[in-house]
């Protein structure tokens, strides 16, 4: 019988192509999450052969997103089976989540026994306050990387960073890259390449400038001044107020 809150996805390869044990993939959601931090990697990881996906919130109820709609999980923390892969997305809601003992304790307990501990964007700070980034190299959204030492991590400038069984991704869209790299590590490069083709992931953005290094100084300055200078200050305040960092 299928466990509570478990989704099993069909996969075009069939089970004969799975060269790894089935995995329970757990995504931890909270209010004001950035939906693409979650939607990108779950679209790919849900097709990992033979695996199941649990989308969890504290009480199993819908969580709000930064796009004005909600996501309905399929499990609560209490219903969630042990994670083989735990993934924590980011969003402005991280500022509240790092001070929520139930969320932090759940991530700490699940992460302590998971095969892979992962995050996208500012979700890294939830891993951090849970003690899972201590002495690790990590990344997150470019506007917040200077705060990683507050949670014991060393920033490494890369779109996806792996340190042992901890894999962190940069901002938002990098979650897809992280998912493909993790699939390749678990199931092999052929599986990852086939999924990349199946989902037609072949980025060709209309403009150069998806990183601070490749965008114009004016665009970067204006965006920082309008959004991210204050957002980074608020994140720093939230981390200090969490009582989990020095």
200: left (phi over 0), alpha (psi -120 to 50) or beta: left
Stronger pLDDT, 133 or 8, i.e. the higher one: 133
Cβ atoms within 10 Å, residue 1: 4
Token pair listed for 189: 């490069």
In this predicted structure, what is the pLDDT of residue 19? 60
Q: What is the mean pLDDT of residues 31-48?
A: 97
Tokens, residue 225: 């001044």
Mean pLDDT of the chain: 92
Cα-Cα-Cα-Cα dihedral sign, residues 163, 176, 73, 52:
negative
Q: Which residues contact 117 (CB under 8 A, 6 or more apart)?
A: 86, 111, 127, 132, 165, 166, 167
Among 3-17, 29-43, 50-64, 200-214, which stretch is predicted with the lowest mean pLDDT?
Answer: 3-17
What proportion of the chain, given as a percentage, has pLDDT over 70?
Answer: 91
Distance separating alpha carbons of residues 66 and 99, to the nearest angstrom = 19
Q: How large is the average pLDDT for residues 132-143?
A: 98
Mean pLDDT to the nearest integer, 35-57 = 96
> What pTM was estimated for this model as a whole?
0.91
Say if residue 161's pLDDT is above 70: yes
Q: In this structure, are residues 73 and 206 in contact, taking their beta carbons and an 8 Å threshold? A: no
Give the pLDDT score at 11: 46
Nearest alpha carbon to residue 194 among 184, 186, 203, 185: 184
Question: Quick one: average pLDDT of 182-191?
Answer: 97
On the question of pLDDT at 119 being above 70, the answer is: yes
Mean pLDDT of 126-139: 98
Q: Is the pLDDT of residue 159 over 50?
A: yes
Q: What is the pLDDT of residue 20?
A: 67
For residue 39, count other CB atoms closer than 10 A to its CB.
Answer: 16
Q: Is the pLDDT of residue 49 over 50?
A: yes
Indicate which residues carry an active-site annotation: 121
What are the structural domains, with CATH classification, of the chain?
7-15+22-241 (3.40.50.880)
Rounded CA separation 117/140 (Å): 14
Please give the pLDDT value at position 12. 42
pLDDT at 244: 79
- Residue 155: its H or E element: strand 154-155
Q: In the predicted model, what is the mean pLDDT of residues 130-143?
A: 98
Check whether 7 has a pLDDT greater than 60. Answer: no
- pLDDT confidence of residue 162: 98
């Amino acid at each position: 019988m299928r466990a509570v809150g478990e989704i099993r996805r069909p996969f075009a390869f069939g089970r004969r192509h799975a060269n790894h044990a089935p995995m329970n993939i757990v995504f931890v959601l909270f209010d004001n999450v950035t939906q693409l931090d979650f939607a990108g990697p779950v679209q790919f990881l849900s097709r990992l052969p033979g695996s199941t996906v649990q989308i969890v919130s504290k009480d199993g109820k819908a969580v709000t997103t930064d796009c004005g709609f909600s996501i309905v999980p399929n499990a609560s923390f209490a219903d969630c089976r042990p994670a083989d892969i735990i993934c924590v997305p980011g969003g402005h809601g991280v500022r509240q989540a790092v001070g929520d003992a139930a969320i932090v304790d759940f991530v700490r307990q699940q992460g302590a026994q998971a095969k892979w501990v992962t995050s996208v964007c500012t979700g890294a700070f939830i891993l951090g306050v849970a003690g899972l980034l201590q002495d690790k190299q990590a990344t997150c959204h470019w506007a917040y990387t200077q705060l990683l030492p507050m949670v014991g991590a060393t920033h490494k400038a890369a779109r996806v960073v792996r340190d042992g069984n901890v894999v962190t991704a940069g901002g938002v869209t990098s979650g897809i890259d992280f998912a493909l790299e993790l699939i390749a590590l678990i199931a092999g490069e052929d599986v990852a390449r086939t999924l990349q083709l199946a989902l037609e992931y072949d980025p060709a953005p209309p403009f150069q400038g998806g990183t601070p290094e490749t965008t114009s100084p004016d665009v970067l300055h204006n965006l920082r001044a309008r959004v991210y200078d204050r957002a980074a200050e608020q994140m720093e305040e939230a981390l200090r107020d969490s009582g989990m960092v020095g």
